[in-house]
Amino acid sequence: MKFKVLFSLMLGLLITSLFATSLFAAVKVADKPNVVLILMDNFAYGELGSYGGGITRGAATPQLDKLADEGFRSTNFNVEAQCTPSRANLMTGRYAIRTGNSKVPGDLNLPYGLTQWEYTMAEMLSDVGYSTAMYGKWHLGNKPGRFPTDQGFDEWWGIPNSANVSEWVNSKRLPADVKSKVPVPEILTSVKNGKQQSVKTFDLKQKARMDGELTDRAISYIDKHAKSKKPFFVFLSYTNTHVPRIPAPEFDGKTGNGAWADILLQTDTYVGNIMESLKRNGVDDNTIVIFTSDNGSDFYEDYSSSGLWRGTYFTGLEGSLRVPFIIRWPAKIPARGESNEILLEADVFTTLAAAAGGKLPNDRIYDGKNELDFLMGKTPKSEQEIVIAYVADEIHAVKWRNWKGVFKELEQGYGTPAKEYVTPVVYDLYTDPREEKPYSREGLQTNSWVISPIMMAHKAHLKTLEEEPPIKEGTLDPYVPGKKN
């Protein structure tokens, strides 16, 4: 009898303990912040009102300016010079040279993108209990095994490659024999580890409506998951600031200042709609919202404004590397924060891992740093002071604090060969933000010391590439480090 009582008591304690452990885990997961990451395409530094633009284009950006006012705004957020490298960097926390994605693929029939060995932001968040969804442009692989839902996302609706492919369907100058050999531009959808299905053709008419549909899908996802015990991650990757630039019908002509101004207003409105959905669902206070861009402006006639900086994407100039970065997390990140401390887009991965309790593999080199304390105002300095400025697979410059040592220099992203320097040409970005007045021999007399930290940073980075050789472009799965594929 005593044994039965003792057994019942022990069983009750065990059940209570298991319940408490389960409850603790559920509360722990529930306390994790939701994440909405909004990524623009070729959206330059100087477009938003909070970055000195907006109204100068004939279209104010009140919703995005409010986002900046309620959170933190970086004036020194650095990305890579092309779409695919930048997105690889963002998704892995590693310079794209490491992952075999150092340049935009020229032939879409060839394998490109992230190997399965890479550990993506979506996989990291999924592993700590997040529901994950992506809507929009991927540009990190267009073959089975390389789509978003093969890389940690529960669902995806969007385009695998660049937005300019929308022109192919309508082009009267594309020869039939060439048209038959290039992939048909399509919008695809899939679920985790599922087969991709074609939704519809991605033509110019659809290009105009694309970002509106992406916004609607993101809002529907938030509506569906806001009441769930699981936190959610939405990666909203817009398409319409990439050429061809065609406003949605309801925004076409609305500003009276041309297509670019219409699209700027359109984007601002869509972001406002996203923020309203978070508030309506009662998850506004516990959601990290990030707004940024994959790289600076393109080199077309109506390219977006780089503001204070000079240059376009596909170069190592600041207009290519610096883009807007706004992050909002009420009660955690102080409002009206602003800093010129160096941040890398790789930091987004590692910082979100810290915020969500994610764990990173210890078998690879990460370039991102945990910037959570810096963003929360607990320390005045970021963890970064170096930027390795790649253009494709070549290092064009090394930034150290406010100094920039340039090894190769391009005025524009196409048609001109790069100037090469044996000893880097040095710019002080505080006094010469447009990189127009390189320090001469005479000017360096009092600042020649700056060559040393720049060269040390360059050498240290190259050493990491020896320690962990980069994955070769076009590497197939399965990939195992140190073994032939």
CB 319 within 8 A of CB 305: no
- Residues in CB range of 155: below 8 A, 6 or more apart: 132, 133, 134, 149, 189, 190, 191, 192, 221
The residue assigned the tokens 């997390």 is: 329
Same fold across 32-375 and 386-467: no
pLDDT for the residue numbered 336:
97
Domain boundaries, the chain: 32-375, 386-467
Q: Give the Cα separation of 224 and 248 in Å (integer).
A: 26
Instruction: Give the length of the chain.
Output: 485
pLDDT digits (tens, 9 = 90+) for 237-272: 999 988 888 999 999 999 998 888 899 999 999 999
Q: Torsions phi, psi of 226, nearest 5? A: -60, -35
pLDDT for the residue numbered 422:
84
Beta pairing class for 197-201 and 232-237 = unpaired
pLDDT at 201 over 50: yes
| Partners of 139 in the β-ladder | none
What angle is formed at CA 196 by the lines to CA 191 and CA 200, rounded to 5 degrees?
110
CB 386 within 8 A of CB 342: yes
Q: Give the Cα separation of 412 and 363 in Å (integer).
A: 38
Q: Give the Cα separation of 33 and 234 in Å (integer).
A: 12
Q: Give the Cα separation of 245 and 47 in Å (integer).
A: 15
Any long-range contacts for 386-389 (C-beta under 8 Å, 24+ apart)? 386/342, 386/457, 386/461, 387/78, 387/321, 387/342, 387/344, 388/95, 388/457, 388/458, 388/461, 389/78, 389/81, 389/316, 389/321
pLDDT digits (tens, 9 = 90+) for 336-371: 999 999 999 999 999 999 999 999 999 999 999 999
Q: Name the residue among 49, 82, 71 with its Cα closest to residue 275.
A: 71
Half-sphere exposure of 124 (CA within 13 A, CB side): 23
- Residues in CB range of 312: below 8 A, 6 or more apart: 296, 297, 298, 299, 303, 306, 319, 320, 412, 413
The pLDDT confidence band at residue 25, using thresholds 50, 70 and 90, is: very low
Q: Give the Cα separation of 8 and 217 in Å (integer).
A: 51
CB 233 within 8 A of CB 120: no
Q: Give the Cα separation of 192 and 410 in Å (integer).
A: 41
Rounded percentage of the chain residues whose pLDDT exceeds 90: 73
Neighbours of 256 (CB within 10 A): 9
CB 81 within 8 A of CB 92: no
Q: Give the Cα separation of 65 and 104 in Å (integer).
A: 31
Neighbours of 184 (CB within 10 A): 12
What angle is formed at CA 42 by the lines to CA 37 and CA 43, rounded to 5 degrees?
70
Assigned fold of 32-375: Alkaline Phosphatase, subunit A (3.40.720)
The CATH number that domain 386-467 falls under is 3.30.1120.10
pLDDT digits (tens, 9 = 90+) for 271-288: 999 999 999 999 999 999
pLDDT at 226 over 90: yes
Q: What is the pTM of this model?
A: 0.91
Q: Give the Cα separation of 470 and 454 in Å (integer).
A: 22
The overall average pLDDT reported for the chain is: 89
pLDDT for the residue numbered 7:
39
Q: Torsions phi, psi of 237, nearest 5? A: -110, 95
pLDDT at 26 over 50: no
Q: If you average pLDDT over residues 146-153, what whole number do you get?
A: 97
pLDDT for the residue numbered 441:
53
The pLDDT confidence band at residue 30, using thresholds 50, 70 and 90, is: low
Residue 102 vs residues 314, 399, 409: alpha-carbon distances, Å: 11, 19, 18
